[in-house]
Amino acid sequence: MKEELIRRLVKIVEESNIAELEISKWGHKLKISKYPSNSAPVSQAAGTHYVIQTPQSTDSNSNVHQEAATPAGAAEKPPETPQKGIEIRSPMVGTFYRAPAPDADPYVEIGDTVQKGQVLCIIEAMKLMNEVEAEFPCKILDILVENAQPVEYNQPLFLVEKL
Amino acid sequence: MERRELKKILIANRGEIALRIIRACKELGIRTVAVYSEADVHSLHVRFADEAVCIGPGASSESYLNIPRIISAAEVTNADAIHPGYGFLAENAEFAEVCESCNIIFIGPTPEMIANMGDKAFAKNTMKRAGVPIIPGSDGLLTDVNEALAVADEIGYPIILKATAGGGGRGMRVVRERSELERAFDQARQEAQAAFGNPGLYMEKFFDHPRHIEVQIIGDTHGNIYALGERECSIQRKHQKLIEESPSPVINEELRQKMSEAAIRGAKSVNYINAGTIEFLYQDGQFYFMEMNTRIQVEHPVTEAVFGLDLIKEQIRVAAGEKLQGINPDHKLRGHAIECRINAEDPEQDFRPSPGKITAFHVPGGPGVRVDTHAYAQYVIPPYYDSLIAKLIVHGRDRDEAIGRMERALEEFIIEGIKTTIPFHQMMMRHPDFKAGNFDTKFVEHLKATKSAEMVA
């Protein structure tokens, strides 16, 4: 893909609320994500501000992966469509927990179907446990933060598909 | 009180003061956490801090005034202390108390000191008991017109009657002669009842040409309290300071001693800790207590300049339980410092706010020039907060040099893309009355009136 296009796409991702953008064209796949693949605590991620990163940098905060086309035989394969999904974001500042207690099962796993009002996770703030509920029925596509990770206001927690 | 180690400080503020606090922390080897609203995502204080946590959308109530979110941010980052800056939660006793109960050190006085000094009546009584001159007036509400006459006789005319529930100039009457008092009393009472549902009135001595002169104090947890000279802050518009300087052109060494001693007495009477300012009303050689601010103030740099100190560092040291060392009672101020607040406002359009994108930004330099700013070229000023974009401070060997230096610095200060108050400050530095030190708190108001008259003529 042309460098100019990559630069523009990185800029779009940086300036929007998009956490991850995946585009493929003629077998080339480009994935731009705002958060490193092994999630770092929010405090570190926020400290090195992503707006400073240049498209070519391999800095952990702005990852640009370009995969070359597979051999001619695979050219007939239909291009992958970018993942659809709605982000569920944190309504507060605190610590994200996937389960009601350290030894309990997580509230949800990837692939789960969730009802409206069902508890997705807990955000602990000032020693109080706050349940985050699903506001609509949905399917969990991805869990974007790790257990016990500090989260900030509006940080994306889950990627879901509205049902 | 034992020493506590502060390894990480969260700054519960934004803009230039957040940057100021980060700078002091960096020099002390303390890690910093910035909190920011979504509107401030590109703000300089977010970039300069070691860590940053987004705490809410643009509106202050959802972000910089939101106690739970700020405390959460301190907890998830393991901050030892919070510096509240000025404004926002700096004088919120509840916030200071929440910090305490969450084992987070609040860099400032105790919640009791904040609550007490925030209560005007309590503060006034406290100062009175400490022998600090207060504005002569009635002892609480006036029961009837006869008491009004008696009090006015005692304190001397002119006097002003004020509604206790009041504000906005309503329920107020200035009375210059005894013969006018009865009628004014009735009118003010009626107006107060109509406007606020409370006819209660009190009386104070009225000042025709008052100056606002304040004394910086700082106390540690070892019982030491120091006064750091005075600041002249009379150039104000709608009770917002525009230009501040230290020392005041009208305060001689004798008055300085008296005011400093009074300020220290007042602060000692409440065992005040950390930085604070005692505001006085000054006229004709007399000074009277107005109020006490229990926080660091915007204009602290002029005091830093003439005393060669870093007040924010001292605040942090006090909070860590250290004894104040860089300061001593014989500390004398040196030279003269002036600060001009550069706001994103259009002085030609009655100081109308001018938010938007700064397209060019070049700060002045050279000897004796300091600029505290969070702005930069391409910065977009968010509409949610105050209009202060930079503080320009100069220090010279005397007031004339300081004024000349400020004039020179203002000329070099390039800010394009928005309107700023730089032209206003330039005019002030050339104004004969300002240069002569002849002004009071009504100065800017009178300027406007003169200008309107000129335009009409």
Classify burial at B457, counting beta carbons within 10 Å of its beta carbon; exposed 0-12, middle 13-18, buried 19 or more: exposed
The SS3 of residue B211 is strand
Whether A17 and A70 map to the same domain: the answer is: yes
Residue of B69, B295, B341, B370 with catalytic role: B295
Alpha carbon distance B347, B234 (integer Å)? 18
Residue in B51, B69, B102 closest to A93 by CB? B69
| Nearest CA-CA distance, residue A116 and chain B, Å | 25
Last residue in a domain, options A43, A76, A109? A76
Alpha carbon distance A63, B447 (integer Å)? 58
ipTM tops 0.90: no
Confidence of residue A64 (pLDDT cuts 50, 70, 90): very low
Structure tokens at B7: 């390894």
Q: B102 to chain A: which residues are within 8 Å by CB?
A: 126
B405 counts as catalytic: no
Q: What is the pLDDT of residue A45?
A: 34
φ, ψ of residue B347 in degrees (nearest 5): -65, -20
The SS3 of residue A13 is helix
Q: Is residue A136 part of a domain?
A: yes
Asked if residue B247 has a cis previous peptide bond (ω within 30° of 0), the answer is yes
Mean pLDDT of chain A: 74
Q: A156 to chain B: which residues are within 8 Å by CB?
A: none
Among B276, B248, B239, B245, residue whose Cα is nearest residue B91: B276
Domain span at A126:
86-162
Q: B33 to chain A: which residues are within 8 Å by CB?
A: 43
The SS3 of residue A53 is coil
| Nearest CA-CA distance, residue A161 and chain B, Å | 25
**A19 vs B345, more confident:** B345
The region of weakest confidence among A35-49, A103-117, B172-186, B315-329 is A35-49
Whether A156 and A124 map to the same domain: the answer is: yes
| Nearest CA-CA distance, residue B117 and chain A, Å | 28
Q: What is the pLDDT of residue A34?
A: 77
| Nearest CA-CA distance, residue A61 and chain B, Å | 14
Is B69 close to A47, i.e. CB distance below 8 A?
Answer: no
Mark out the alpha helices in B34-76 (DSSP H runs). 44-48, 67-76
Last residue in a domain, options A24, A54, A76? A76
- Domain B8-107 class in CATH: alpha beta
Q: A51 to chain B: which residues are within 8 Å by CB?
A: 42
Is A94 close to B72, i.e. CB distance below 8 A?
Answer: yes
Helices B399-412 and B422-430 cross at an angle (nearest 10°) of: 150
Number of CB atoms found within 10 A of residue B387's CB: 20
Q: What is the pLDDT of residue B168?
A: 66
Residue in A47, A95, A150 closest to B50 by CB? A47
Is A93 close to B53, i.e. CB distance below 8 A?
Answer: yes
Whether A70 and A100 map to the same domain: the answer is: no
Q: Is residue A61 part of a domain?
A: yes
Q: A93 to chain B: which residues are within 8 Å by CB?
A: 53-55, 69, 72-73, 76
Whether A18 and A62 map to the same domain: the answer is: yes
Interface of B with A (CB under 8 A): 33, 38, 42, 46-47, 49-57, 63, 68-69, 71-73, 75-77, 102
Among B332, B331, B314, residue whose Cα is nearest residue B323: B314
Q: What is the pLDDT of residue A73?
A: 38
Confidence of residue A39 (pLDDT cuts 50, 70, 90): very low
Q: Is residue A81 part of a domain?
A: no
Structure tokens at B205: 């001595």
Whether A72 and A7 map to the same domain: the answer is: yes
| Dihedral (Cα; B153, B157, B162, B167), 10-degree rounding | -170
Is B75 close to A126, i.e. CB distance below 8 A?
Answer: yes
Residue in A43, A49, A152 closest to B55 by CB? A152
Confidence of residue A36 (pLDDT cuts 50, 70, 90): low
**A11 vs A68, more confident:** A11
The SS3 of residue B455 is helix
Structurally, chain A folds into a number of domains equal to 2
Whether A54 and A11 map to the same domain: the answer is: yes
Q: What is the pLDDT of residue A18?
A: 82
Q: What is the pLDDT of residue B16?
A: 97
Q: What is the pLDDT of residue A37?
A: 46
Give me the CATH topology for the region B145-199.
Dna Ligase; domain 1 (3.30.1490)
pTM of the model: 0.80
Chain B residue whose CA is closest to A47: B51
- Low-confidence residues of chain B: pLDDT under 50: 457
Q: Is residue A133 part of a domain?
A: yes
| Dihedral (Cα; B397, B401, B403, B407), 10-degree rounding | -130
Give me the CATH topology for the region B211-456.
D-amino Acid Aminotransferase; Chain A, domain 1 (3.30.470)
CATH number at residue A95: 2.40.50.100
Alpha carbon distance A85, A91 (integer Å)? 19
Last residue in a domain, options A16, A49, A76? A76
Whether A69 and A98 map to the same domain: the answer is: no
Whether A39 and A68 map to the same domain: the answer is: yes
Q: Is residue A61 scored above 80 in pLDDT? A: no
Alpha carbon distance B51, B47 (integer Å)? 8
Q: A49 to chain B: which residues are within 8 Å by CB?
A: 46-47, 52
Pairing of strands A138-143, A119-125: unpaired
Among B38, B51, B37, B55, residue whose Cα is nearest residue B7: B51
The SS3 of residue B281 is strand
CB pairs under 8 A between A and B: 67
Structure tokens at B227: 């006064």
Is A93 close to B47, i.e. CB distance below 8 A?
Answer: no
